[in-house]
Amino acid sequence: MTTPGLLPPGSTIGIIGAGQLGRMIGVAAVQLGYRTHILAPESGPANDVCFAFTRAAYDDPDALAAFAEAVDVVTYEFENIAADPIAAIAATVPVRPSVAALRVAQDRTAEKRFVEDLGGRAAPWREVDSRAGLDAAIAAIGCPAILKTTRFGYDGKGQARLHTPADADAAWAAIGAAPAILEGFVRFAHEFSIVLARGADGAIMGYPPPVNVHADGILASSALPAPAMVASQWTEAAALAGRVAERLDYIGVLTLEFFATDTGPVFNEMAPRVHNSGHWTIEGAQTSQFENHVRAICSLPLGPTGLTARAVRMENLIGDQVTRWPDLIAQDDAHLHLYGKHEARPGRKMGHVTRIER
């Protein structure tokens, strides 16, 4: 007996985006007997493991329509894509996660309001739509603060810090005078994330929370088990993530990032996709985030998410850190993942290494 809507092995998963997340989804898909078809404006790491490739802009309606006809389900590896063209193909093929999730997560203002409506607590913030609006936001929140574009920001891009109100002109110029939000700083002990998978049947499986360390706005490492403070806030943060998934009727892997503070978890941002802070799950969990994403979008039962080791640590290889690969691959406790990118630019994620302590 098969589950209604189940996509059997041999079906084709369409992935919008050709980066490393698409690559790792593709590896998991192949292991379960699926094919992947990538749509992206240029070739990338995911092309090394895909069955077919459509080179096209993410908002090309004709290319998207043909792509939808060629695949059995569509997913995406990042949220900085126009939602309307994706919504147009949802009438032809299932899009998982839904376009509703995409619309919420790609706009910081919508995201903050959505999570706060569900009982989540975010850092103090104000909407900024002009230079005068920035002054008003500073007056309301104070400094230090961080100015973030409402759209198209990731890995520290589209952001500027204000140490004092005198930094306002430089910060506004640094983000290109784009619509933004101003966030007040939060005193926190740790950053952590909740990564969960929600199946087509509504079942949810959550992973233990990793503690994350960032450098220059880019994730540097994720480690488990989490310290006691994070562990004590896990239940509350996971419950909020579950409410987000339920409200969006979400299918796939969803990630919410938090700050652990003396007064409880403070929501930072969400990602409607597999996430860098979940890369440790490939070796460190019973079922990786990538496999569970494939399982979810294909209407398969979700796999267990428990730890496979006493301790796990994932480190990103950013820029020329990738040149360490000969030493890393020789270490017994290191599991090396290289993304096949040909140029190691500063700030570019070239791979990661996961260490397992049993």
pLDDT along the chain (358 residues), means of 10: 76 98 98 98 97 97 97 95 95 95 93 97 95 94 93 73 95 93 95 98 98 94 97 98 98 98 96 98 98 98 97 97 97 96 94 96
The answer to whether residues 197 and 241 touch, using CB atoms and an 8 Å cutoff, is no
154 plus 197 within the same structural domain = no
Amino acid 185 reads: F
The answer to whether residues 121 and 264 touch, using CB atoms and an 8 Å cutoff, is yes
Residue 156 is predicted with a pLDDT of: 58
Counting beta carbons within 10 angstroms of the beta carbon of residue 210, is it exposed (0 to 12), middle (13 to 18) or buried (19 or more)? buried
CA nearest 28: which of 307, 296, 250, 245? 296
**One-letter-per-residue 3-state SS of the chain:** CCCCCCCCCCCEEEEECCCHHHHHHHHHHHHCCCEEEEEECCCCHHHHHCCEEEECCCCCHHHHHHHHHHCCEEEECCCCCCHHHHHHHCCCCCECCCHHHHHHHCCHHHHHHHHHHCCCCECCEEEECCHHHHHHHHHHHCCCEEEEECCCCCCCCCEEEECCHHHHHHHHHHCCCCCEEEEECCCCCEEEEEEEEECCCCCEEECCCCEEEEECCEEEEEEECCCHHHHHHHHHHHHHHHHHHHHCCCCEEEEEEEEEECCEEEEEEEECCCCHHHCCHHHHECCCHHHHHHHHHCCCCCCCCCECCCEEEEEEEEHHHHHHHHHHHCCCCEEEEECCCCCCCCCCEEEEEEEEEC
Domain membership flag for residue 311: yes
Residue 126 is predicted with a pLDDT of: 95
Residue 4 is predicted with a pLDDT of: 57
Residue 358 is predicted with a pLDDT of: 87
**Which residues are registered as beta bridge partners of 264?**
261
In order of 10, 15, 287, 305, the CA distances from 291 in angstroms are: 16, 14, 6, 11
141 plus 261 within the same structural domain = no
- Residue ending a domain, among 52, 76, 95, is 95
Domain membership flag for residue 1: no
Residue 153 is predicted with a pLDDT of: 60
249 plus 300 within the same structural domain = yes
**Residue 142's domain is classified under what CATH number?**
3.30.1490.20
Domain membership flag for residue 65: yes
Residue 151 is predicted with a pLDDT of: 85
End-to-end Cα separation, the chain, in angstroms: 38
Domain membership flag for residue 3: no
The domain tally of the chain equals: 3
CA nearest 93: which of 250, 297, 271? 297
69 plus 202 within the same structural domain = no
Sign of CA dihedral 85, 277, 23, 75: negative
- Residue ending a domain, among 95, 113, 137, is 95
Query: What is the span of the domain harbouring residue 40?
Result: 12-95
Residue 80 is predicted with a pLDDT of: 86
Domain membership flag for residue 39: yes
**Residue 79's domain is classified under what CATH number?**
3.40.50.20
- Residue ending a domain, among 45, 80, 95, is 95
Domain membership flag for residue 155: yes
195 plus 337 within the same structural domain = yes
Domain membership flag for residue 304: yes
**Residue 317's domain is classified under what CATH number?**
3.30.470.20
CA distance 159 to 149: 7
254 plus 338 within the same structural domain = yes
Number of residues assigned to the chain:
358
173 plus 268 within the same structural domain = no
pLDDT per position as a tens digit, 234-274:
999 999 999 999 999 999 999 999 999 999 999 999 999 99
CA distance 193 to 278: 9
197 plus 246 within the same structural domain = yes
CA distance 112 to 106: 11
Domain membership flag for residue 84: yes
337 plus 195 within the same structural domain = yes
Distance of CA 95 to the CA centre of its chain: 17
24 plus 84 within the same structural domain = yes
- To the question of pTM greater than 0.85 for the whole model, the response is yes
217 plus 331 within the same structural domain = yes
55 plus 145 within the same structural domain = no
